[in-house]
């Protein structure tokens, strides 16, 4: 297996080495994205152009337990491909056993996102986001903070990495840096594109791809009465993502009325959403709209995993929020986009059928996204 990767790397390096003197191509345009129909070419930061070898490096780093302080965890420990890169837990568990206040996010179609993690308005790129789980101390996830030198030294001892780093960052005198680790992981993450669900095949003209209940659920989903698409909008089913140049929602954070601890809309500590960052009372309980592709395999739901099933999620939104469902009174600060609607059991089943038709089985098993260290 090592030999096979080695050959691929040499070939990629050769290709990259040709064409000297010509201006570099736009960072996202020259890469073979293998995009599903209807998906725009993503924008890529100018200082982190895509390349096949960098994506391969990022994939290895994503799955490498040496990238945690105690060598027990990788990114993939909490982001498992078969669960659309979630882990099935209500709240994540870090490499040192620290319980995360929130659940691991799904990872798909991030190349078009303008906001990352559950609620953060000041981390604008995957390159910066990748540092949060690596070096964060509250909570400790990969637990590298305080061990940066040691971890880099570990990677440098690997027979493959020095070559992969040099080929991925040919301009750098010393490519073995933390920014470059983050850049490679970001490049890999940008390739995690999911657009081959039954819904996508239906959109591309395969009328048989969606069942009759799923088609009815789709109508409801996009209807004004049910209104899911007010926030779960666009090709990624979230207002946090948009096509390059297209007007996106610059502030895709919403309070959906899950908690009201104090009569003023407070969420429990550790899950106060954007408020934890901005300290603004109006940001209490505001979270980024989660994308919905593969949502059927990412239970439990909400930032704290407090809702077990999609059916219960629909109940909450139909009631105009969980606070309103439980007390009859909505949270005073919940989003005005949240409007209660009547829904029959049959309609609910149709909505669930539609959400289940967003599962992209190809994505969940795509060998390009799988663990390169796994025995074959």
Partner 1 sequence: MNRIQTAALVAATMLSAACGGTSNDPQPVTIDFKALVGNQAFSCADTAGYTIGTGTLPWIPKDFRFYVSNVRLVDANGGEAPVTLDSSFWQGYGVALLDFENGTGNCTGGTLEMNKAVQGTVAPGTYVGLKFDVGVPTASNHLNYQAANPPLSNSAMYWSWTSGYKFVKVDGLINRATPFTFNFHLGSTGCTLATPGDFSTASCTTLNVPAASFASFNASTQAVALDIAVLFASTNFDTADGGGAPGCMSGATDPECAPIFPKLGLPFGATPPGTQTAFRLVTK
| Distance between CA atoms of residues 302 and 282, nearest Å | 19
Q: Where are the beta strands (DSSP E) in the chain?
A: 253-254, 287-288
Q: Per the structure block, which two tokens stand in for 106? A: 């799904």
272, burial (CB in 10 Å: exposed 0-12, middle 13-18, buried 19+): buried
| Out of 6, 40, 124, 162, the residue judged to bind partner 1 by CB under 8 A | 124
Question: Is residue 122 within the footprint of partner 1 (CB under 8 A)?
Answer: yes
CB-based contact 130:190 (threshold 8 Å): no
Contact set for partner 1, span 70-99 (CB under 8 A)? none
Binding partner 1 by CB under 8 A: which of 16, 93, 128, 229?
128
Which CB, 42 or 213, lies closer to partner 1?
A: 42
Q: How far apart are CA 23 and CA 100, in angstroms?
A: 45
Using rule CB under 8 A, residue 234 touches partner 1: no
In angstroms, the CA 20 to CA 118 distance is 42
Which of 135, 294, 331, 359 is the binder for partner 1 (CB under 8 A)? Answer: 135
Give me the least distance between CB of 346 and partner 1, in Å please: 41
Any contact of residue 114 with partner 1 (CB under 8 A)?
yes
Residue from 22, 47, 224, 262 that binds partner 1 (CB under 8 A)? 47
Candidate ranges 127-135, 166-174, 198-206, 291-299; the one touching partner 1 (CB under 8 A): 127-135
Toward partner 1, which CB reaches closer, 261 or 366? 261
Question: Binding string, 9-28, against partner 1, x = CB under 8 A?
Answer: --------------------
DSSP for residue 80: B
Angular region, 143: left φ>0, alpha ψ -120 to 50, beta rest: left
* Minimum CB distance to partner 1 smaller for 43 or for 347: 43
Q: Please name the helix (run of DSSP H) or strand (run of DSSP E) that holds residue 218, with its range, or none.
A: helix 212-222
Instruction: Report the C-alpha gap between 297 and 370 in whole angstroms.
Output: 17
Query: Residue 16 and residue 24: Cα distance in Å, rounded?
Result: 10
Minimum CB separation of residue 274 from partner 1 in Å reads 9
State how far the Cα of 162 lies from the Cα of 173, in Å rounded to an integer.
12
Stretch that binds partner 1, among 17-25, 147-155, 193-201, 309-317 (CB under 8 A): 147-155
Q: Does 278 contact partner 1 by CB under 8 A?
A: yes
Which phi-psi region, left, alpha or beta, contains residue 38 (left: φ > 0; alpha: ψ -120 to 50)? left
Dihedral, CA of residue 234, residue 239, residue 245 and residue 247, to nearest 10: 100
Segment near partner 1 (CB under 8 A), from 124-132, 319-327, 335-343, 365-373? 124-132
**Based on the number of CB atoms within 10 Å of its own CB, is 24 exposed (0-12), middle (13-18) or buried (19 or more)?**
exposed
Q: How far apart are the first and last CA of the chain?
A: 8
Helices and strands in the chain: count of H runs, count of E runs = 15, 2
Minimum Å gap between C-beta 74 and partner 1 is: 18
Cβ 223 to partner 1 shortest distance, Å: 29
Which of 53/134 has CB closer to partner 1? 134
Mark 151-180 with x for binding to partner 1 (rule: CB under 8 A) and - for no binding: ---------------------------xx-
Q: Are the beta carbons of 196 and 76 closer than 8 angstroms?
A: no
Please, what is the minimum distance in Å from the beta carbon of residue 151 to partner 1?
9
Binding footprint of partner 1 on the chain (CB under 8 A): 47, 114-115, 117, 120-125, 127-129, 131-132, 134-138, 145-150, 178-179, 182-183, 250-251, 269, 277-280
């Amino acid at each position: 297996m090592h030999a096979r990767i080695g050959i691929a790397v040499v070939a990629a390096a050769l290709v990259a080495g040709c064409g000297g003197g010509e201006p570099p191509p736009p960072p996202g345009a020259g890469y073979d994205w293998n995009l599903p129909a209807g998906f725009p070419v993503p924008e890529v930061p100018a200082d982190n152009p895509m390349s096949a070898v960098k994506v391969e490096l990022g994939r290895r780093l994503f799955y490498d337990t040496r990238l945690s302080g105690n060598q027990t965890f990788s990114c993939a420990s909490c982001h498992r491909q078969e669960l659309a890169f979630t882990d099935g837990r209500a709240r994540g568990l870090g490499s040192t056993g620290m319980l995360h206040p929130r659940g691991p996010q799904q990872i798909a179609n991030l190349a078009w996102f303008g906001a990352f993690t559950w609620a953060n308005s000041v981390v604008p790129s995957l390159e910066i986001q990748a540092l949060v789980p690596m070096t964060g101390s509250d909570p400790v996830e990969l637990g590298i903070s305080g061990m940066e030198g040691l971890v880099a030294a570990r990677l440098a001892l690997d027979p493959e990495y020095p070559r992969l780093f040099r080929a991925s960052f040919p301009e750098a005198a010393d490519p073995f840096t933390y920014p470059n680790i983050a850049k490679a992981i970001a490049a890999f993450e940008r390739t995690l594109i999911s657009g081959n669900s039954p819904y996508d095949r239906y959109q591309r003209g395969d009328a048989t791809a969606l069942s009759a209940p799923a088609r009815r659920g789709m109508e409801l989903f996009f209807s004004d009465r049910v209104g899911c698409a007010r926030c779960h909008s666009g090709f990624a089913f979230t207002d946090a993502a948009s096509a390059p140049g297209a007007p996106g929602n610059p502030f895709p954070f919403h309070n959906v009325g899950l908690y009201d601890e104090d009569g003023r809309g407070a969420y429990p500590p550790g899950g106060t959403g954007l408020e934890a960052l901005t300290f603004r009372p109006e940001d209490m309980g505001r979270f980024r709209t989660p994308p919905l592709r593969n949502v059927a395999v990412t239970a439990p739901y909400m930032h704290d995993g407090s809702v077990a099933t999609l059916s219960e999620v629909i109940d909450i939104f139909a009631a105009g929020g969980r606070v309103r469902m439980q007390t009859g009174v909505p949270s005073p600060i919940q989003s005005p986009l949240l409007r209660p609607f009547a829904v029959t059991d049959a309609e609910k089943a149709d909505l669930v059928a539609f959400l289940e038709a967003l599962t992209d089985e190809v994505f969940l098993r795509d060998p390009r996204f799988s663990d390169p260290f796994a025995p074959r």
